[in-house]
Structure 1
Amino acid sequence: MLIKHYVSLLALSGLSLLSHAQSFNKAKLDSLLTTLASHDKAMGSLTISQNGAVVYSRAIGYESLNGTTKTPATPSTHYRIGSVTKVFTATLIFQLIDEGKLTLDTPLATYFPQLPNAQRITIGQLLSHHSGLHSFTNDATYSTYFTQPKTQAEMLAMIGQGKPDFEPGAKFSYSNAGYVVLGYVVEKITKQPYAQALQKRIINKIGLKDTYYGGKTDPKRHESYSYRLASSWQAMPETDMSIPGGAGAIVSTTTDLNRFAEALFAGKLVSEKSLARMQTITDNGFGMGLMRMQFGAKRAYGHGGSIDGFGTSLGYFPEEKLAVAYISNGQSYPLNDVMLGVLSIYFQQPYRLPDFDAKAPTLAATDLVPYVGTYASTSIPLKITVSAVGATLQAQATGQPVLPLTPVTKDVFSYDAAGIRLEFAPSRHEMLLKQGGGSFLFTLE
């Protein structure tokens, strides 16, 4: 399932970095990936490239698990990249702008007048998530049809039925619907299916060998399935790729993603002016197709992605000419924390490898009573209901699924797959939610 809102993976501004490292501790990076794999914390591929050359590439876990048949992942494994697709879509749009075929101010009504506020929504607002178009992936009904094929007409009708979230340009709200529509705009102008425009304008142009518009997973092509960890890795349902389109339907490898980022920033795909617009951040860390990712004093641009059980991070550091791509097809440890470890090791920052052998406290049902209740926050419009089922503590945010929590220490619980940490202070009737670099105080109602 497409993620509703993707938080910058590299919001680690508190670090003080050294100058760019000429070498890094590859053995330590190997140890990080090995411990993640051996403890069933992650499966996937990592590639680091500098100055156009691969300096590190490794895969862990499996691209396919079918009973006793296990196909190990390799750096050539193909993964669904989710919302990193949006960078490709934005690139296609800016190519058309460079060719004078549309502008950032072109109204959406030029192509799809039937959509809400189409006369007042611009291409630029779609690119920067300021259109107000309601994102269909936020609806509860999405889970009832995301595995079924949809035509463009059906998708447009569905998007058209959604009530706008706000007036065009009024504010930022991450919208998968906006980028699905941008993909359709590409098709209208080029008179080609999105897959063909992608092939001609990006893939063939820069020589990508393992990137394409996805379909039903084909293990014969070394396409990976995605998994979630229960008592073992369990296969996740597959989104039908007719639905995410220009918002999330591309399949690629970590090596190809790095090549794409390098080509984009080398001026091989769009003009210098267009690349600058892609990097111009308005709010929430987003520009027009690119996100700003901060690692201490160093700045990267890229995007994150999530679809089914896949998680992706692509970042490019222009000053260092460094590209880092990580794609996971199974994670029970936060992707953000994996990237923190990777970058800390690469930039020779102090970093302690995670200790997954440390024993979590054993709690009885009676130990969980002080945490149970509904918590509200004045900083975000969200309530979290904490409940106990036997000796397991659970948390459920408004409109979201129930998450089983793992005890870390006294009064501290986590849900590692989403990078969530809950720190309780029962005597004060408070709970601190930590996720994605942010901390939010909640009070027991």
Structure 2
Amino acid sequence: MRYPHLLAAIAFIAPAPLLAQALTPAETRTIDALVAKTLADTGVPSASIAVVRGGKTVLAKAYGKQFEGQKGPADPTLPYQIASVSKQFTAAAIQLLADEGKLSLDDTVNKYIPGITGGDTITIRQLLSHTSGLRDYWPQDYSFKAMATPTTPQGIVDRWAKAPLDFAPGTQWQYSNTGYVVAGMIVEKVSGQPLLDFLQAHVFRRLGIRALDQDKAVGPGFPQGYLRHALGPVRVETPAAPGWLYAAGELAMSPQDLAKWDIARMNRTLLPAKLWAEQETPVNLTSGASTGYGLGVGIGVKDGRRIVEHSGEAVGFLTENIVYPEDKAAIVVAVNAWFADAPGRIAKGIADVILPQPQASNPDAAALDRTKQVYAQLQAGRLDRALLTEDAAYYFTPATIADYRTSLSPLGAPSKIEQVGQTRLRGGFVNRSYRVSYPTRTLRISTYAEPGAQGRIEQFLVSPVE
């Protein structure tokens, strides 16, 4: 469920806030062209965006095909599944209960939810900051086998939160959807309400936000998710069975509604100012090192500007939400596909329009032998299943492998395959990303593998990038 693009916090000089002004016709045309080109380049069917400048929403617009059989233009009021962007709302629910004296962020988990591994030492703060050590139940960027069957929060807890911890609480940072499921259960235990009902009463109705359970934001009139295997055809995605996102990412809303929350954040309204500050304060590890992550949000500096950021990945959907607090600016991008880099590409392009900044990159070299081997196998349509975990074997059906072969084989041998970004531990797997370069195009490979030199592959996904 898409981890946030965390950036190292560094000293900076805050720029002056942008004036509250509407986009000029030229700026709007530039954004329209950016979105249209991105959709055309990536094959992503639709995008819905909201742009905040000077503390006000200055653009809310949707583009492309939001669902099969759509008649008329795209509708910016339709709710997209925002997935892990929901985490900051779960964190806010916990914070509100703490502010009322009904719990403390430093309470241990077993005070509210018994039977969790390490529950006598894991604190609620560690759940919200991804430092609990609880194993992530969904590190993959695809629907794994169990997701075809409905589940409950307790079902997730029983399978993943009762497994051995990946590390001692507080000693490492590792993205954990499981921790947020536990946090949501605590909200319900303490408040006596379903999590979504609590948020409706304390957040959404007060801000005029239409927020839905993403399991119910399906069917006629709702955006439909899409998938793509490598460079194969864009296909309608099958939603996961109910119950899989819950407090880790259960919400669906329009970007213009999410922007209302972003505006409340930058203006320090709705929640007490101290709770906003608490949410945006990076949590430190026991070593004293910063995680770059607060309570449900990533905190960092991008091109000299402080950002509060989180991305989201649901089955068939991607979202990017970036707030520039000192600039009173925010960018929300939601797409109905979970392949390619459309949300990040669009968000960066919009940032260049409303607050111009240089592009940055952070490549990181690593060993590539097996990645090159598997990529060549997929081009040939002969994948060695001994290299795969059970879930990866489930993902790579004959039809999937055929899509990889027919779309990748004509490209021939790449000029270069190189690792980009940092190697991370997540869900008990090692996560790496790679850039595949051809003379006329660039691809991305996202991998998860079991630890160790001979660890089996849990994920190997290929998608186009700019």
Counterpart among 292, 317, 339 of residue 347 in structure 2: 339
Q: Which residue type is aligned with residue 107 of structure 1?
A: T
Unaligned runs of 5+ in 2: 284-289, 360-364, 397-403, 420-431, 447-452, 454-466
Q: Which residue type is aligned with residue 192 of structure 2?
A: K
C-alpha distance 265-53 of structure 1, shift in aligned 2 (>3 A)? closer
Give how far 1:175 is off: 0.3
Distance in structure 2 (CA, Å) of the matches to 1:45 and 1:256: 11
Distance in structure 1 (CA, Å) of the matches to 2:8 and 2:382: 27
Give how far 1:224 is off: 1.1
In the alignment, is the contact (CA less than 8 A) between 2:332 and 2:347 conserved in 1? no
C-alpha distance 385-349 of structure 1, shift in aligned 2 (>3 A)? closer
In the alignment, is the contact (CA less than 8 A) between 2:50 and 2:255 conserved in 1? yes
1:212-251 to 2 correspondence within 5 Å? 212-220=212-220, 222-229=221-228, 231-251=232-252
User: Is residue 273 of structure 2 the alignment partner of residue 272 of structure 1?
Assistant: yes
Distance in structure 2 (CA, Å) of the matches to 1:309 and 1:167: 34
Distance in structure 1 (CA, Å) of the matches to 2:9 and 2:350: 13
C-alpha distance 83-128 of structure 1, shift in aligned 2 (>3 A)? same
In the alignment, is the contact (CA less than 8 A) between 1:217 and 1:225 conserved in 2? no
For the residue of structure 1 that corresponds to 2:307, the secondary structure is strand
User: Is residue 318 of structure 2 the alignment partner of residue 311 of structure 1?
Assistant: yes
Which sits farther off after the overlay, 322-331 or 232-241?
232-241
In the alignment, is the contact (CA less than 8 A) between 2:437 and 2:443 conserved in 1? yes
Partner of 2:376: 388
Counterpart among 387, 395, 411 of residue 415 in structure 2: 411
Partner of 2:456: none
Unaligned runs of 5+ in 1: 352-375, 425-431, 437-442
1:18-417 to 2 correspondence within 5 Å? 25-42=27-44, 43-65=46-68, 72-138=73-139, 143-208=144-209, 210-220=210-220, 222-229=221-228, 231-282=232-283, 283-330=290-337, 331-349=339-357, 377=366, 384-386=371-373, 387-389=375-377, 411-412=415-416
Give how far 1:78 is off: 1.1
C-alpha distance 51-147 of structure 1, shift in aligned 2 (>3 A)? farther
C-alpha distance 393-412 of structure 1, shift in aligned 2 (>3 A)? farther
Deviations 1:181-219 (A, max 9, x none): 1111110011011121111111112221x2122224434
In the alignment, is the contact (CA less than 8 A) between 1:226 and 1:310 conserved in 2? yes
C-alpha distance 94-395 of structure 1, shift in aligned 2 (>3 A)? farther
Q: Which residue type is aligned with residue 281 of structure 1?
A: P
Which sits farther off after the overlay, 17-26 or 145-154?
17-26
Q: Which residue type is aligned with residue 53 of structure 1?
A: K
Paired-residue identity, % = 25
Deviations 1:318-374 (A, max 9, x none): 1111121111112434432222212112224578xxxxxxxxxxxxxxxxxxxxxxx
Distance in structure 2 (CA, Å) of the matches to 1:296 and 1:140: 28
Distance in structure 2 (CA, Å) of the matches to 1:21 and 1:276: 21
C-alpha distance 54-169 of structure 1, shift in aligned 2 (>3 A)? same
Give how far 1:39 is off: 4.2
| Structure 1 segments (4+ residues) deviating >4 Å | 10-13, 15-24, 69-72, 139-142, 389-410, 432-436
In the alignment, is the contact (CA less than 8 A) between 1:183 and 1:246 conserved in 2? yes
C-alpha distance 219-267 of structure 1, shift in aligned 2 (>3 A)? same
Q: Which residue type is aligned with residue 236 of structure 1?
A: E
For the residue of structure 1 that corresponds to 2:243, the secondary structure is coil
In the alignment, is the contact (CA less than 8 A) between 1:97 and 1:103 conserved in 2? yes
Distance in structure 1 (CA, Å) of the matches to 2:298 and 2:226: 26
Q: Which residue type is aligned with residue 218 of structure 1?
A: V
Distance in structure 1 (CA, Å) of the matches to 2:78 and 2:101: 38
In the alignment, is the contact (CA less than 8 A) between 2:278 and 2:295 conserved in 1? yes
C-alpha distance 391-302 of structure 1, shift in aligned 2 (>3 A)? closer
Distance in structure 2 (CA, Å) of the matches to 1:93 and 1:231: 43
CA RMSD of aligned residues (A): 3.9
Q: How many residues align?
A: 394
In the alignment, is the contact (CA less than 8 A) between 2:153 and 2:246 conserved in 1? no
**Going by fraction, where is strand more abundant, 1 or 2?**
1
Give how far 1:269 is off: 3.3
Partner of 1:359: none
C-alpha distance 88-257 of structure 1, shift in aligned 2 (>3 A)? same
Distance in structure 1 (CA, Å) of the matches to 2:59 and 2:207: 21
